[in-house]
Structure 1
Amino acid sequence: MTISATIRNTSQENTITVETNGNQQSISIPVKSAGRGSAVNGGELLFLALATCFCNDIYREAARRQMDIENVEVSVSGEFGKEGEPASHIIYEVSIEADKHSSAEIAELINQVDKVAEVHNTLRQGVSVKLKL
């Protein structure tokens, strides 16, 4: 699976596209009200990526187990220090409503997804990020 993300920013607009295996989509994020750049920062988007990955993977893994999930809520938080420092103390919480399944089944599903969530595992392994000029 090949994934890419692109942002083109001017003082008046952001043009943001994401693409997976040739399927391109636009995302709407406003520009900063007081200057250039995005109104949403990279840390927020990083944490959203973690939440989105986990949410999507819950539904994927639940389908494999033939579990009926009504809804999922994933909340991610952490801290950023000074400029240039990586995030720390990243934690996430998950709430799932699935009336047809026991709390033990739901806990097992959550633990399984924690092991296979790709964005989480990418950060846990500390993958290299390189600048291409």
Structure 2
Amino acid sequence: MTTMAIRLRGIPDTEASIGWAGGHSVVVDRPEGKAGGMGLGFNGGQLLGLAIGGCFCNDLYYVAHEMGIALTHVAVDVRVTFDGDPLRATDATVEIAVESADKEARLDELIRKAKETSTVSNSIARGIPVSVASRL
């Protein structure tokens, strides 16, 4: 089992937050003019799409290495649809384009295996409990 710790803290003099895990960070905010947002960073929906797509990109490279395929091009586009009240993600679509200099590379198999092993998209598709605790 692997556990990752991610921390977020408010940025002084803004209503945005900075989040980090290890040595990597990202700014989270709402669009400018929405509920105090200043447009300083990604909103949660964008981060969800980035998590889905970023994980899929990594999985494509993991599987390519396992299969001995050198990729020359990777493009992943994610579209997340939100609906309801409260608003929630109702659909995510991932479009993938990969290329290899090896014309015999089994790219369809590569994409299939990456889809089967993609941690984030498989977690979302199966649903995960989210518990919230207050430290007041």
Relative distance call for 1:36 and 1:113 in structure 2 (3 A) is: same
Q: Once structures 1 and 2 are overlaid, which stretch shifts more, 105-114 or 25-34?
A: 25-34
- Partner of 2:6, secondary structure, is strand
- Partner of 1:77, secondary structure, is strand
Relative distance call for 1:127 and 1:26 in structure 2 (3 A) is: same
How many angstroms does 1:83 deviate by?
4.1
CA distance, structure 2, for counterparts of residue 79 and residue 31 of structure 1: 19
Letter in 2 for 1:65: M
Q: Is the 8 A contact 2:49 2:79 kept in 1?
A: yes
How many angstroms does 1:8 deviate by?
1.1
Q: Is the 8 A contact 1:9 1:36 kept in 2?
A: no
CA distances 1:19-69 after superposition (whole Å, capped 9, x unpaired):
xxxxx1232427554434753111110010000000001111111111101
Q: Which residue number in structure 2 is paired with residue 72 of structure 1?
A: 74
**Matching residue within 22, 27, 32 for 1:29:** 27
How many angstroms does 1:93 deviate by?
0.3
- Partner of 1:57, secondary structure, is helix
Identity rate of aligned residues, in percent? 24
Between Structure 1 and Structure 2, how many residues are aligned? 127
TM-score of the pair, normalised by structure 2: 0.81
CA distance, structure 1, for counterparts of residue 28 and residue 43 of structure 2: 11
Q: Which residue number in structure 2 is paired with residue 21 of structure 1?
A: none
CA distance, structure 2, for counterparts of residue 65 and residue 4 of structure 1: 31
Q: Once structures 1 and 2 are overlaid, which stretch shifts more, 28-37 or 53-62?
A: 28-37
Relative distance call for 1:100 and 1:127 in structure 2 (3 A) is: same
Relative distance call for 1:57 and 1:88 in structure 2 (3 A) is: same
Q: Once structures 1 and 2 are overlaid, which stretch shifts more, 109-118 or 37-46?
A: 37-46
Query: Structure 1: where are the runs of 5+ without partners?
Result: 19-23
Q: Which residue number in structure 1 is paired with residue 8 of structure 2?
A: 7
- Partner of 2:102, secondary structure, is coil
Letter in 2 for 1:99: A
Query: Structure 2: where are the runs of 5+ without partners?
Result: none
- Partner of 1:3, secondary structure, is coil
